[in-house]
Amino acid sequence: MLVALLPGDGIGPEVLVEARRVLDAVLGDAITYEEAPVGGAAYHAAGHPLPDATLNLARRADAILFGAVGDPACDSLERALRPEQAILGLRRALGLFANLRPAKLFAELADASALRPEIARAIDLVIVRELTGDVYFGEKGRRETADGLRQGYDVMAYDEAEVRRIARIGFETARKRQRRLTSVDKANVLETSQLWRDVMIEVAADYPDVALDHLYVDNAAMQLVRAPGQFDVIVTGNLFGDILSDQASMCVGSIGLLPSASLDERGKGLYEPIHGSAPDIAGQGKANPLAAILSAAMMLRHSLGRAADADRIEAAVAAALAGGARTGDLGGTASTRAMADAVLAAL
């Protein structure tokens, strides 16, 4: 099994080192790793945030473990050269259309959430976000209006095949959980959403065991604060998913804890912490490695057929937290290394 390690920028490399230590402890040398630069690091080294060599490695690999991209030194570059384009480029080139983001409060961390503990404790949901369509990848640009004004535009669109395949992932995910799927759209305003909703309802016919409902995105954002415990699986488009999944992450406390998977049609995936490159704390040994470690666990489960090993890592993370290990984002003083050591000790 070949895993592509793409550490990227900021705290990306530090957290991937710890994820790798945990993988080594669990799997020994069952996995082969190859590393390549991505994001700002790749721009500085090779003039492009997603060099061909990196993309080719990602194509060859069975799975990709990704750190984070984002580098203030690249802020003034034209958009196509900025670090974030690497992750957009990988999603698109590899057809990683299904982003899975579980959000569940670790019982020990009820105090880390901004929500009241009794509300936060009820959270146990998965957001299924479409990742290769929507206004992210439609035609876009600058043009002049009839009055000679500068205008920026981006075309939002989904076709039925794109909606159908993400709908199936949503229903399949719900089927393995509480069998409740909430589709989020803005069908009272958007034609894209109306098609989205129509196709969701069509696909629902194949999943009579799953209860489907629909929420407008503004209402969903409200409900995620008011009573997030009501959700099991949420399926939504690329743009709404970007917003709601970050909002949901914050509801369970630190974003330093949350992993994500981005899957193609055959289950190959890219795994990354949902946190960013956090340049302000990079290189100081302060970053929380748990999101990266949990991303590695997701990789074992979804792409490498090692569900039992994934369970083992997740249990060790819970045990490390129960034992009191806390990085700064959780109000503690443990270093990145010490936090990972606590996980290794609990394996």
Ligand X SMILES: CC(C)[C@H](C(=O)O)[C@@H](O)C(=O)O
CA distances from 85 to 48, 189, 204 (A): 9, 29, 34
Told to check if 132 binds a second copy by CB under 8 A, we report no
Out of ligand X, a second copy, none, which partner does residue 266 contact, by CB within 5 to 8 A per kind? none
Interaction pattern, residues 71-90, with a second copy; x per rule: CB under 8 A: --------x--x-x---x--
Active-site position among 124, 242, 264, 341: 242
Closest separation in Å from C-beta 292 to ligand X:
15
308 CB-contact burial (10 Å; exposed 0-12 / middle 13-18 / buried 19+)? exposed
Active-site position among 134, 186, 207, 329: 186
**The tokens of 97 are what?**
């259309």
d(CA 295, CA 133): 23
66 versus 171: smaller Cβ distance to ligand X: 66
25 versus 225: smaller Cβ distance to ligand X: 225
Of positions 107, 227, 307, 345, contacts a second copy by CB under 8 A: 227
Question: What are the CB-based long-range contacts (under 8 Å, 24+) for 274-277?
Answer: 274/101, 274/245, 274/246, 274/249, 275/11, 275/68, 276/10, 276/68, 276/69, 276/70, 277/8, 277/9, 277/10, 277/11, 277/12, 277/39, 277/40, 277/67, 277/68, 277/69, 277/70, 277/71, 277/83
Catalytic residue check, 140: no
d(CA 26, CA 346): 12
Closest separation in Å from C-beta 87 to ligand X:
6
83 versus 269: smaller Cβ distance to a second copy: 83
Q: Are 33 and 3 in contact (CB under 8 A)?
A: yes
Name residue, tokens 């945030």.
Answer: 49
Closest separation in Å from C-beta 39 to ligand X:
10
84 versus 108: smaller Cβ distance to ligand X: 84
Instruction: Please indicate if the annotation marks 56 as binding a ligand.
Output: no
Interacting span for a second copy (CB under 8 A) from 6-14, 97-105, 242-250, 286-294: 242-250
Closest separation in Å from C-beta 134 to ligand X:
10
Task: Lay out the sheet containing 2-8: strands in order across.
Answer: 32-35, 2-8, 63-68, 269-273, 259-263, 98-104, 124-130, 233-236, 180-185, 211-216
Instruction: Please indicate if the annotation marks 147 as binding a ligand.
Output: no
**The tokens of 108 are what?**
């020990």
Q: Are 129 and 241 in contact (CB under 8 A)?
A: yes
102 versus 346: smaller Cβ distance to ligand X: 102
Told to check if 124 binds a second copy by CB under 8 A, we report no
DSSP class of residue 116?
A: -
Catalytic residue check, 33: no
d(CA 49, CA 311): 34
**The tokens of 282 are what?**
């990079």
93 versus 114: smaller Cβ distance to a second copy: 114
Closest separation in Å from C-beta 107 to ligand X:
27
Instruction: Please indicate if the annotation marks 159 as binding a ligand.
Output: no
Catalytic residue check, 218: yes
Binding site for a second copy (CB under 8 A): 79, 82, 84, 88, 114-116, 119, 135-136, 138, 140-142, 145, 147, 149-161, 186, 188-196, 217-219, 221-227, 239-240, 242-247, 249-251, 255
- Active site members: 136, 186, 218, 242, 246
Query: Which residue ranges make up the annotated binding site for NAD(+)?
Result: 276-288
Residues making up the binding site for substrate: 91, 101, 129, 218
